[in-house]
Amino acid sequence: MTEPSTAGRAAGSASGEASASSSESPTAGRTLRAHPPEVSAAKARRWGAFYYAEQVLRVMKGYGWSIFLYSVGQPAAYLFAMGVGLATLVDTSAVSAFGGVSYIAFIAPALLVSAAVMTAATEFTFPVMDGFKWRRVYYGPHASPLTPEQIAAGQIIAVTLRFLLQSVIYFAIVALFGASPSGWGWGSVLVATLAGLSFGLPLMAYATSIKEDKGQFAMVMRFIVMPLFLFSGTFFPLDTLPVLVRWIGWISPIWHGTELGRVMTFGYEESPVLTIIHVLFLLGLAWFGWVLTKRQFIRRMGQ
């Protein structure tokens, strides 16, 4: 998170100034000297988002174990229950039903994506409310040279790192189960991260717009995340569902991410056009969410 070249230079100049001014320092005979405000501003303009990400990661580190257990333990439990338990029944049906692979290989990329989306549903809701309202943690950095969009971006960077880390660990477990036969399997880590952002950033924009907590986030979990989780071709192919509910999959970042993940982990055969649509859908939704979030942050903090 630090930028070695500039930080090193600043440290050097700080100690240089210190030795020069030690004799005339008016403050308690100490030799410390902060770099001038112009330097602070220039550095913040350049690296501000990373400075804030550093703070978010520091806070995350404080409850690292529960993050780990939640984000890795849960999908691993699913993987075991479904991929080993349920699979003994499911795998007796025709192999072609699940794209020509074992059931565990079929659901592994789906669970990877779903885990990232569920993490997004917590990381981009309650902490945002905390930042603006409960403990108002955004307003500390807001008084510093950081800008509102840098604070938003910093949080997103930190959560993106969390997506990456949890997906890497989870993918390693999947690989141990032998459920990622393709050499491109690792790409599903990036897909899951992208899916997390694609779902999370519009949600972050929504969370930023909420002034009063009336249980909206619990509603999001129950009425958006859960249906998306169940009807996104997670546990069975989307086309086994009636057309009436199939649209849920089409607008779902989980479905687009899952299908893309399957292409990566076991070379799931689909039209290349569809693959491109998955990528564009996920990128587009994430970008849309970022633009909205940025605008909301600037508006809400500038009041």
Residues that bind other proteins (CB under 8 A): 6-8, 10-11, 14-15, 21, 24-28, 30, 32-45, 47-48, 51-52, 54-55, 58-59, 62, 135-137, 139-147, 301-303
CB 285, min distance to other proteins, A: 30
Q: How far apart are CA 80 and CA 107, in angstroms?
A: 11
Of 140 and 284, CB closest to other proteins: 140
To other proteins, the closest distance from the beta carbon of 139 in angstroms equals 5
Q: Which is nearer to other proteins, 48 or 261 (CB)?
A: 48
The torsion region of residue 178 among left (phi > 0), alpha (psi -120 to 50) and beta comes to left
What residue type is 28 in one-letter code? A
CB 60 → other proteins: shortest distance, Å?
9
Q: Which is nearer to other proteins, 41 or 245 (CB)?
A: 41
Cβ at position 37, least distance to other proteins in Å: 4
CB of 39 vs other proteins, minimal distance in Å: 7
Sign of torsion, CA 98 101 103 108?
negative
CB of 243 to other proteins, least distance (A): 48
Of 22 and 93, nearer to other proteins (C-beta) is 22
Cα angle 203-48-206, degrees, rounded to a multiple of 5: 10
In Å, what is the CA distance from 191 to each residue of 61, 238, 275? 24, 19, 12
To other proteins, the closest distance from the beta carbon of 154 in angstroms equals 10
Q: Smaller CB distance to other proteins: residue 51 or 199?
A: 51
Q: Give the residue from 240, 48, 22, 248 showing the smallest Cα distance to 144.
A: 48
Q: Buried b / exposed e across 269-291, counting CB within 10 Å, b at 16+?
A: eeeeeebebbeebbeebbeebbe
* Shortest Å distance, C-beta 140 to other proteins: 5
**Are 149 and 295 a contacting pair, CB within 8 Å?**
no
Residue number, 82 or 146, with CB nearest to other proteins? 146
Question: Left if phi > 0, otherwise alpha if psi is -120 to 50, otherwise beta: which for 213?
Answer: beta
First to last CA, the chain: 30
Compute CA distances 252 → 179, 199, 205, 209, 224, whole Å.
Answer: 24, 8, 17, 22, 10
CB nearer to other proteins: give 40 or 216: 40
Structural tokens at position 23: 């004799």
Q: Identify which of residues 44 and 282 has a Cβ nearer to other proteins in the complex.
A: 44
Rounded to whole angstroms, the Cα distance separating 47 from 150 reads 9
